[in-house]
Structure 1
Amino acid sequence: MSDTQPTIYFITGATRGIGYALVADVASQDPSAIIYAGARDPTGEGASRLKELTEKYSRCIEIVRYMAADRRGGSGRSTDAWIR
Structure 2
Amino acid sequence: KSQMVQSNRGFQGGYKLSKSPDQICVYDVLVATEGNLSCVACLDSDVNTCPRKEDCATLYIYEGLNQVIKTYLKGITLQDILSHEQSFDYII
TM-score by length of 2: 0.23
Greater helix share, structure number: 2
Larger radius of gyration between Structure 1 and Structure 2: 2
Query: Higher RCO, 1 or 2 (CA under 8 Å, sep at least 6)?
Result: 2
